[in-house]
């Protein structure tokens, strides 16, 4: 059916790169429409991000027209009908309409087609199956408009069949519901996800990682994660206990501090109680080295931060750096439960905004001049001196620094009977 609602006033549709691509493709018997998330978000009055375009033109024709229009084309998935066009540095995926010839999971055999309804039926959810013509007319062949109005995420056609085509759609079901849905997940889709959960074992860790990191920062991630846990899905994904109370508190803490939701920080709240948890989750989700290090740092003895005073907080900030300090503080705060001093936690978490640790002012030369030979002994003395400097609350007065250096050398010589 064709909807009565129009998006013809949408500025991103009527001018700029999108209008240029659509004008290029809508000529000489071919048709192109905006599809997927851009249409969904526009209809829900949400920001429009990536803009995907579907067309009746085959990939070679898309490339030919782009060349004539002096538009860069990249054959990113030409065997599946996808060509990426780049205008003013912005990419647009243009995909030829397709229809299934044989279906066997993600490797379904497809042929290019010209039937918009059949192409829509191949998509995952009804709210993603709506298309938009350049004149702003919305085309809905799958009931997506009604589901947008109800904030309902529903599989197109038979949910079990859609899932069997790609088991990642189980995670996408919960992620899309967390971002755009309302209330309980669609019952039919939920039961189909439970029935198909064994298929998660065949997914690559990289694909699971990508979906999980999007899911945990979605608007209503907490409810979707609880539903996933009830369905026996989270244990299969992360391999351990999940902490929904800490996750919920972490999202609230981010709000109190005015911070954007961070996927690794939220993943830590959900899954990490000790560093062994961080390592397990990092391996199962194939996190990047940087992500794994951040998750491990969050879980490292976070409980030592509970009830600390300002001096300890400053020393932790000096040792960890601002980002890791704040993340570990926030994990400790989230794990400390409801009955804690919120004001004190907030003061600790915002310490990097008010105070920058000074660099350690003593140098190797200060100790060489005091008779410490270069080598392991010098490194040891420097470490002892830095610890003493931190314990003394970061003194910078030259006299205090001289005394600290003298005392450190005397202690080292006494301990080593030099």
Q: Name the band, by pLDDT with cuts 50, 70 and 90, for residue 9.
A: confident
- Angstrom distance (rounded) from CA 103 to CA 110: 8
- Angstrom distance (rounded) from CA 98 to CA 344: 58
CA distances from 165 to 82, 111, 141 (A): 19, 16, 20
Contact 189, 159 (CB under 8 A): yes
Q: Name the band, by pLDDT with cuts 50, 70 and 90, for residue 77.
A: confident
Considering only CA atoms, which of 200, 175, 335, 332 is closest in space to residue 263? 175
| Mean pLDDT computed over 220-243 | 96
Burial of residue 399, with CB atoms counted within 10 A of its CB: 0-12 exposed, 13-18 middle, 19 or more buried: exposed
Q: Name the band, by pLDDT with cuts 50, 70 and 90, for residue 185.
A: very high
- Angstrom distance (rounded) from CA 30 to CA 58: 9
* DSSP per-residue string spanning 289-342: HHHHHHHHHHHSSGGGGTT--HHHHHHHHHHH-HHHHHHHHHHHHHHT-SSS-H
Q: Name the band, by pLDDT with cuts 50, 70 and 90, for residue 78.
A: confident
Instruction: Tell me the per-residue pLDDT of 93-102, one tens digit each, with 9 for 90 and over.
Output: 999 998 766 6
For residue 341, what pLDDT is reported? 87
H or E element, residue 140: strand 137-140
| Mean pLDDT computed over 348-354 | 97
List, in sequence order, the alpha helices (H) in 27-167.
Answer: 37-43, 59-68, 116-121, 144-150, 159-165
- Which fold, 2-150? Beta Polymerase; domain 2 (3.30.460)
Instruction: Give the DSSP letter of residue 202.
Output: G
**Residue 150 pLDDT > 80:** yes
Considering only CA atoms, which of 71, 60, 81 is closest in space to residue 22? 71
The full set of domain ranges for the chain reads 2-150, 154-220, 239-357, 364-415
Contact 37, 49 (CB under 8 A): yes
For residue 62, what pLDDT is reported? 95
For all residues of the chain together, what is the average pLDDT?
Answer: 93
For residue 49, what pLDDT is reported? 86
Is residue 147 helix, strand or coil?
helix
| Mean pLDDT computed over 195-217 | 97
For residue 337, what pLDDT is reported? 76
Determine the distance from the C-alpha atom of residue 199 to the mean position of all C-alpha atoms in its chain, rounded to a whole number.
Answer: 23
Is residue 59 helix, strand or coil?
helix
| Mean pLDDT computed over 56-77 | 94
Task: Please state the φ and ψ torsions of residue 142, each to the nearest 5 degrees.
Answer: -130, 10
Whether pTM > 0.75 for this model: the answer is: yes
For residue 418, what pLDDT is reported? 55
Strand partners, 33: 54
| Mean pLDDT computed over 368-388 | 95
For residue 39, what pLDDT is reported? 95
Residue bearing tokens 């890791």: 324
Considering only CA atoms, which of 189, 269, 256 is closest in space to residue 222? 269
- Other C-beta atoms lying within 10 Å of the C-beta of residue 248: 18
Contact 188, 83 (CB under 8 A): no
Contact 140, 130 (CB under 8 A): yes
**Residue 107 pLDDT > 90:** no
Query: Widest CA span of the chain, in angstroms?
Result: 93
| Mean pLDDT computed over 35-51 | 92
């Amino acid at each position: 059916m064709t909807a009565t609602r129009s998006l013809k006033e949408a500025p991103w549709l009527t001018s700029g790169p999108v209008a240029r691509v659509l004008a290029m493709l809508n000529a000489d018997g071919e048709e192109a429409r905006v599809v997927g998330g851009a249409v969904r978000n526009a209809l829900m009055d949400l920001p429009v991000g990536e803009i995907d375009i579907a067309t009746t033109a085959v990939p070679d024709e898309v490339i030919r027209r782009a060349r004539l229009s002096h538009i860069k084309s990249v054959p990113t998935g030409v065997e599946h009908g996808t060509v990426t066009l780049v205008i003013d540095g912005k990419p647009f995926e243009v995909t030829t309409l397709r229809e299934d010839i044989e279906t066997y999971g993600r490797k379904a055999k497809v042929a290019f087609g010209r039937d918009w309804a059949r192409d829509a039926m191949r998509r995952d959810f009804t709210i993603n199956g709506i298309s938009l013509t350049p004149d702003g007319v919305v085309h809905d062949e799958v009931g997506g408009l009604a589901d947008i109005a109800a904030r309902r995420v529903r599989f197109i056609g038979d949910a079990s069949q859609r899932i069997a085509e790609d088991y990642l759609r189980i995670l996408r079901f919960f992620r899309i519901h967390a971002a755009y849905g309302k209330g309980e997940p669609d019952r039919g889709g939920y039961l189909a996800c439970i029935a198909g959960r064994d298929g998660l074992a065949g997914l690559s860790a990289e694909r699971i990682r990508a979906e999980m990191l999007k899911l945990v920062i979605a608007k209503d991630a907490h409810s979707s994660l609880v539903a996933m846990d009830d369905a026996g899905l989270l244990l299969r994904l992360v391999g351990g206990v999940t902490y929904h109370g800490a996750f919920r508190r972490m999202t609230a803490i981010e709000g109190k501090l005015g911070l954007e939701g961070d996927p690794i920080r939220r993943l830590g709240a959900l899954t990490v109680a000790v560093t062994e948890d961080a390592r397990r989750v990092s391996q199962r989700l194939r996190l990047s080295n940087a992500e794994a290090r951040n998750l491990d740092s969050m879980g490292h003895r976070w409980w030592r931060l509970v009830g600390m005073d300002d001096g300890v907080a400053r020393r932790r900030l000096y040792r960890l750096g601002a980002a890791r300090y704040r993340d570990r503080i926030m994990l400790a705060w989230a794990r400390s439960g409801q009955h804690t001093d919120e004001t004190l936690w907030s003061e600790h978490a915002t310490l990097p905004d008010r105070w920058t640790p000074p660099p350690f002012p003593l140098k190797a030369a200060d100790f060489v001049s005091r008779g410490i030979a270069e080598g392991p002994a010098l490194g040891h003395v420097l470490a002892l001196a830095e610890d003493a400097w931190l314990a003394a609350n970061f003194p910078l007065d030259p006299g205090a620094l001289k005394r600290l250096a003298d005392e450190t050398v005397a202690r080292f010589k006494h301990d080593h009977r030099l």
